[in-house]
Amino acid sequence: MTTEPNPDDHSDDRAPLRYERSLNGSWEFLTDPERSGRSRGWDEPDAVWPARAHTVTVPRVWQEDDAYRSYTGTAWYRRSFDLENVPEETHAFLRFDAVDYETTVWLNGERVGENRGGYLPFEFDITDSLNAGENHIIVCVTDPEDLSEIPHGKQGDPWYTRISGIWQSVTLAFRPETRIVDVRVTPDLENDQAKVAFEIVPGPADPNVVSATLEARLDGAVDAQMTVPVTASDANRGDDGDSDAETHTDAYADESTIEMSAVLCFDDPVYWSPDNPTLYDISVTLERNNSVVDRYNDTFGMRSFETRNGEFLLNGDPITIRGVLEQGYYPETFYRPHDENAFTAEIDLASDLGFNLIRKHVKPAHPDFLEAADRMGMLVWQEPANPTRYTDRSRTEVRGQLEALIDRDYNRPSVVVWSLYNEEWGIGHHDIEETLWTDVEKQRFLAECYEWVQSVDPTRVICDNSGWAHVATDINDYHRYYVSPDQASQWAADVTHICHNPGDNYATVEFDEPDAPIVISELGTWGLPDVDDLREHYGGDPHWFDHEFLVEALKRPDGIDDRFQRTTLPDVFDDYTDLSAAWQRREFTSIKHLIEELRIRESMGGYVLTELSDTEWEFNGLVTAYRESKSFLSAFSAVNDELAVVLRPESHVAWVGGEKHLELYVVNDGRRTVTGTLEWTFAERTATKAVSVPANGATSVSTTIPVAMAVSESDTLSESTEPVVQTVDLVATFVPDNSNTTDGIPTVSTSEPITVVDASRKQTPEATVYAEGLFASRLAEAGVPVTHSLSGNVDVAVTSDITTRIEDFATSGGAVIQVPNRDGEMHATGPFSYRLLPQPANWNTAAGFYYQDSPLLADICDDRTLGWELEGCYPHVVGAELNPSVDRVHVGYVEGWIANWGSPLVIRGYGKGSMTALTFRLAHQYGRHPVGTLLCDRLLRWLSDRQ
């Protein structure tokens, strides 16, 4: 991040002899689908382009224009600019901050260079091609249809809109002939020093008469300073404040360069951290004969980040990662920020929500984002864009991209993690390739890549292959997409297994021991945006609704209206606004539990939630694609803040009169011990305990609570003849001792719903029930008339297998309930088709949504959605291929963009009787699970009353 002042700006008397001129703005643009532009002479300054050429504003992704939304291939840009004169004793450079993908540049008819890459800066020395007066730049960009071997991240199939063209700034820069070309600052907090490596082009000057002065300034005042002679003859003079130098020739127009290093010593440096993001200004000034010939400016932070004993250490202190994934896509501008405050707003939002890290997903972060993160104190996990295939070319391009990424961002203290690959994309994930788990050659390559990055950048930690098989890594991370409460117990069990068996996530231990910090670096749940609101923003269906590569309806918004109408959702929700609000509440219920389950684990190094904002069709953001709040956003920070309370009841359902075990946790991710009072309340009964919570740790309290109903509500319901069911909030609050002081720690609280059923008022079904096995025994224990024979007096038959006798019973007027076996599976017999829900962790279920439209559940469930009241009963299978004109759907289920409609509780007429598919795992919990028992009783009465 060099400072390049405007030549007409003399406000800084320390301004160096280098300046820049923006070439952003109006350019001519012309597509070349036949790639015939070269043969037609379009690279010539006086070429006449076809009439379809038109003006665009650069920077700009060409897919921003409707006409080029799906265009891939070659396009041309050109513009002219006037230069009054070419400054003497300077070199001129044409810099592109990012162009996707293959770029060739001509200036005044001369080919000045080419580049391959889509995300990082490159420049060409144009000194010999630049004229005083009018100059003509022509740029040819090719973004191929086939992305398999080139780093592209989540562009195109099967993800998002393609990105092509000049999408970051273009700059004309002038620098002195004798100049600095690079500065890297490596902090050494152990010795309160910073090693500064820099590279000099001596140009025509005798290096022996040039000196370099290094200054680190804090708030304008010099905090550390050193002057060293520039000479190639004094190499390896030591690391104790003296300089090292080495001469070599690089790509700067075959100019000789001198590599130097020096050590700046600080008396009392201020360390950079999220709490105190202090930036130093670093300048390296070249002088010859007491005259300044060049000055290079940047910023850096005195910051260290490392791992030790399974922990992350920031500046030597333990830190737990509370991260969020952000993909950097914007609805109209794609990779480009939609306004100059976009990045600041994103970081502010993430910070307000309690996050201390943002993972910029599978593409290098925009440099302006990193500048904001440095200033605002947000940690950043960076990763290169990935290819699809593992080939010689893809390996070369990934490594080249990493090298350029490290070079660009070496001095950015916010960047603390480099990823090399993500989920084996480009290193074994492709269908026809052997996976990293078993391919020794890929493992060796990845280990070598890790060692190389570690050698060129020792200031950060490295994740070799985010989320999947590890080979050599500083982070043992996992990607897990569970949904709660549906899979709450499976999630807890999986996290326990991960913590106890970290080596299971390594493809080999030949290159590394499995002792890195454990991070769940992807987890999350989907929450449908307001489709009507999306259409209002876009002026109709967004272009990404019907991407050709979106084949699965779950991911394909196109057709959502028809799918919506083919379900019973219109009978339950007023419109998309109503539906999205309910779905987003489910999203919060889920991610609250997912995060809390991680925060109470001492061996967990952190997590990265997917994601901050919705991205095109992927709607698992905390905010929408337009960065507007989802329905739960105001409640989220209490879950994710540095200090938080977590409640873990033995169960979220209970019988009145019993007791429930309860674990309470106060989690403290801060750097100091916090003392205070923990208070919990249930059914108007309160208890307290004084606790001390260590820094970067947690304190737990175990207790039991008597189960009762809230007095006010139970009094109201006392005359009811129905079994009483009530949801009572279990509330916990932690009041720090200094919470009332000006600089005190704020009070934090949380709550969990407990659904309470009064067993003393339970109405046993009077129906005669045909049942077998454990369910029959449980029904009989409860006083339900049970028979093992399908005789004439049977009202309802409960079975897992629809036999001919069962079908005849229903045809003759009986009611049949088909239930799952002990494994939760449904026999493929009877009138219903069934669809298996992937277990245990899967995107489909994380994108799933249950809703109810049933008198059996109306007083149990909260606002038409299912929640913790059915904890432990959620199905592994749903009824499928339903017809709303025939089937009475009591509970519906959809996934993603209203796909895969099904039901775990649906009734269909069958002859003179009926068939019910009850896929909830209730039968074997009858009498034990209060809500499951109540639902079974109500269903039995419902069916028998209708015979």
Enumerate domains of the chain plus CATH numbers: 19-175 (2.60.120.260), 179-300 (2.60.40.10), 310-544+584-630 (3.20.20.80), 642-761 (2.60.40.10), 769-945 (3.40.50)
Whether the bond between 626 and the residue before it is cis, its omega within 30 degrees of 0, is no
In three-state secondary structure terms, 239 is coil
Q: Residues 273-291: pLDDT tens digits? A: 999 999 999 999 999 988 9
Report the percentage of the chain scoring pLDDT > 90.
83
For residue 913, what pLDDT is reported?
95
Phi/psi of residue 609, nearest 5 degrees: -75, 140
Query: Tokens at residue 807, please?
Result: 């079908």
Query: pLDDT at residue 13 above 90?
Result: no
CA distance 460 to 454: 8
Place of tokens 């109405």: 763
Q: In this predicted model, what pLDDT tens digit does every residue of 407-463 receive, in sequence order?
A: 999 999 999 999 999 999 999 999 999 999 999 999 999 999 999 999 999 999 999
**Distance (Å) of CA 346 to CA 352, 537, 584, 623:** 10, 20, 20, 10
Strand-pair partners of 519:
477, 606
Q: Is the pLDDT higher at 946 or at 529?
A: 529
Distance CA 765, CA 820 (A): 21
In this prediction, residues 549-554 reach a mean pLDDT of 94
In this model, does residue 702 exceed pLDDT 90? yes
Tokens of 248: 């070599």
Between 785 and 723, name the one with better pLDDT. 785
- Residue 631: phi and psi, rounded to 5, are -65, -20
Instruction: Name the β-bridge partners of 653.
Output: 755
User: What is the reported pTM?
Assistant: 0.94
How would you classify residue 824: left for phi > 0, otherwise alpha for psi between -120 and 50, otherwise beta? left
pLDDT, position 250:
40
To which H or E segment does residue 536 belong?
helix 531-538
Residue with tokens 């000006």: 742
507 band by pLDDT with thresholds 50, 70 and 90 = very high
Highest mean predicted confidence (pLDDT) among 63-67, 252-256, 775-779: 63-67
How many helices (H) and strands (E) are present in the chain, helices listed first?
15, 49
Averaged pLDDT for residues 708-716:
62
What would the mean pLDDT of 714-729 be, rounded to a whole number?
63
- Assigned token pair, 711: 């007095």
Any idea what DSSP says for residue 472?
S
pLDDT score, position 232: 62
For residue 249, what pLDDT is reported?
36
**Cβ-based neighbours of 88, under 8 Å, separated by 6 or more:** none
C-alpha span between 312 and 607 (Å, rounded)? 12
pLDDT band at 744 (very low <50, low <70, confident <90, very high): confident
**Which of 241, 271, 247 has its CA nearest to residue 259?**
247
Amino acid letter for position 513: E
Secondary structure, 3-state, 598-615:
HHCCCCEEEEEEECCECE
Confidence (pLDDT) at 762: 67
| pLDDT tens figures, 790-827 | 887 899 999 999 999 999 999 999 999 999 998 899 99
Which residues, other chains included, contact 449 with Cβ-Cβ below 8 Å and sequence gap of 6+? 398, 399, 402, 420, 464
Statement: residue 6 has pLDDT above 70: no
Looking at residue 205, its pLDDT comes to 76
Q: What is the mean pLDDT of residues 360-379?
A: 98
pLDDT band at 158 (very low <50, low <70, confident <90, very high): very high
Is residue 208 very low, low, confident or very high in pLDDT (cuts 50, 70, 90)? confident
Kindly report, residue by residue over 657-670, the tens digit of the pLDDT: 889 999 999 999 99
Comparison of pLDDT for 151 and 762, the residue scoring more: 151
Comparison of pLDDT for 282 and 774, the residue scoring more: 282
**Residue 848: which residues within 8 A CB-CB, separation 6 or more?**
483, 486, 526, 837, 893, 894, 895
Examine the pLDDT at 3 and tell me if it is beyond 60: no
Is 849's pLDDT higher than 70? yes
Long-range contacts of 788-793 (CB under 8 A, 24+ apart): 790/814, 793/768
Rg (CA), the chain: 33
pLDDT at residue 860 above 50? yes
Residue 5 has what pLDDT? 41
Alpha carbon distance 489, 512 (integer Å) = 32
**Reported confidence tier of residue 842, pLDDT bands at 50, 70, 90:** confident
* DSSP-assigned letter for residue 873: T
Is the pLDDT confidence value at 306 over 80? yes
Work out the mean pLDDT of the chain and round it to a whole number.
92
Other Cβ atoms closer than 10 A to 175: 26
Residue 586 has pLDDT above 50, yes or no: yes
Is the previous residue joined to 930 through a cis bond, with omega within 30 degrees of 0?
Answer: no
Query: What's residue 237's pLDDT?
Result: 36
Distance from C-alpha of 292 to C-alpha of 18, rounded to nearest angstrom = 11
- CA separation for the pair 474, 306 (Å, rounded): 8
SS3 call for 928: coil
